[in-house]
Structures are given as structure tokens and as C-alpha cells.
Amino acid sequence: MMNNFSFTDVAIVACGTMSLELNHLQKEGFLDTEHLFYTAPGLHQDIPELERQLVKMIDKGKQKAEKVLVIYGGKFCYVNMHEPTRLMQTVIKEQGPRVGRIQATQCMDMIATEAERERIAQEVTGGEPVWWMTPGWVKFQKQVFKGWDKGIANENFPRHTGGAIVLDGIGYLDQYMAEDPEGFLEYCDWMGIPMQAYPVTLDRFKRLLSEGAENLAP
């Protein structure tokens, strides 16, 4: 099923943080759609802007394809402090019947399940708390952590005594360390914890994309 499914009638609308994996899947031919639209990375910190960009990109997607699949988590990507009952699912529903979202809580969950992440943490750190990341969190550091100064960083990162683990399905971190070792060390220094890649496959992500597209109304 996974390899036979075609996305030709589907537009993908995603958080820019996941653009690295999605572009990779498009290049290797799994995502056979020409319509990939991205919101800016890191908009989970600016909910009104997230909603504005998301709706705009969904509208663009509707103009290009019959169906629109949204690549955003449900639980952590959209937390509306002013209207707590308004969820990501609410926003998606308002866009009409042929718009749906993949079933994941956030971007790390799109790549590895909670159980898989627990197993990786056990294997790499002996089960110590881990700050999970995907390659997009490395590449788009300035947007994802917009407004974070060293003080906020100190409050958040060091309690993850297992360090930062990047769930890397595209070999991004090795390339980054080779091309910009100083940038890599600066990032680790700013976080105050070490960062390492954990190589994974994109099988779970592919399955979620296929299932999400199949579940869209015909």
C-alpha cells in the first residue's frame, strides 16, 4: 500500500520545520505531488500568525489539487491561550470536507512514536530526559526559538540531562557538522547540552502521509 499510493490529487500544507523531510520524500518519488506549501517554521509561538498562514496555504492548496493534507501536530503545535477550546482540528474542520491532517501530536511524533522515542532514550542515555528535535529544529533555529535568550534557554534545556537527540531520517546533522562545525558547537553551547543525531527511517512518516491522504473525503 505504502509504495503504490499516489498523491497526485493531493496538495501538502506543512509547517516549514518539516520541509526537509517532505522535500526529500518528493525528490525520491514517494510524494508524487507537485504541490508542497509551507508556513514559516516556529509559528507555534505565534498562534494568530500560524492560523493566518495555515488558512492561506490551505486555500492555495485547494486551488491546485482536489484534496489538501495538513502536516501539523494536533496537540502541541497549536495551543490557543485566548480560546483554549479552539484546537488544530477545529481550524482544519472549518476548511471544508476535502481537507485533513495527519494523525500525530507534533513533528517528533511524525518520525518516531512515543514508545520508539522511549526505546531510543533508553539505548542512548539510559533513560535520562531527552530534548527531542528533528532536522528542521536545527536548520531553522532562529525561527523555532525566536525570542529565546540565554536565560530562557537555561530554564528549558539543561534539565534534559540526556542531551538533545535529533531524529534524523535524512542524514542532515552529519552534513551540518561537516559543513559548519562552529555553528554546530555554538548551537550546543547556547542550549547548554550536547546534541547528537539518531538515524531513523522515514517509514512511520510515509505511513502517516499515506493514511492521512487516504482518509480525505473523495
20 and 77 share one domain: yes
129 and 92 share one domain: no
Q: Per-residue pLDDT tens for 54-65?
A: 999 999 999 999
Which amino acid is it at 113? T
Predicted pLDDT at 136? 97
172 and 97 share one domain: no
Predicted pLDDT at 4? 64
Task: Supply the range of the domain harboring residue 164.
Answer: 113-199
Share of the chain above pLDDT 90, in %: 82
119 and 62 share one domain: no
179 and 207 share one domain: no
Q: Per-residue pLDDT tens for 136-150?
A: 999 999 999 999 998
27 and 39 share one domain: yes
Rounded Cα–Cα distance for residues 111 and 21 (Å)? 10
Number of Cβ atoms within 10 Å of the Cβ of 149 = 9
Q: Per-residue pLDDT tens for 117-134?
A: 999 999 999 999 999 999
Which amino acid is it at 92? I
101 and 21 share one domain: yes
Show Cβ contacts of residue 101 under 8 Å, excluding neighbours closer than 6 positions.
69, 70, 71, 72, 74, 88, 89, 92, 212
pLDDT at 43 over 90: no
Q: Residue 91 maps to which CATH number?
A: 3.40.50
Kindly report the pTM of this predicted structure: 0.93
**Quick check: is 77 in a domain?**
yes
**Rounded to 5 degrees, what are φ and ψ at 11?**
-100, 140
Tell me the pLDDT of the chain averaged across its residues. 93
Q: Per-residue pLDDT tens for 149-164?
A: 989 999 999 999 999 9
**Quick check: is 51 in a domain?**
yes
Predicted pLDDT at 1? 40
Determine which helix (DSSP H) or strand (DSSP E) holds 70, and give its type and residue range: strand 67-71
Predicted pLDDT at 3? 52
Dihedral class, residue 29 (left if φ above 0, else alpha if ψ from -120 to 50, else beta): left
164 and 210 share one domain: no
**Quick check: is 31 in a domain?**
yes
Predicted pLDDT at 77? 80
Please count the structural domains in the chain.
Answer: 2
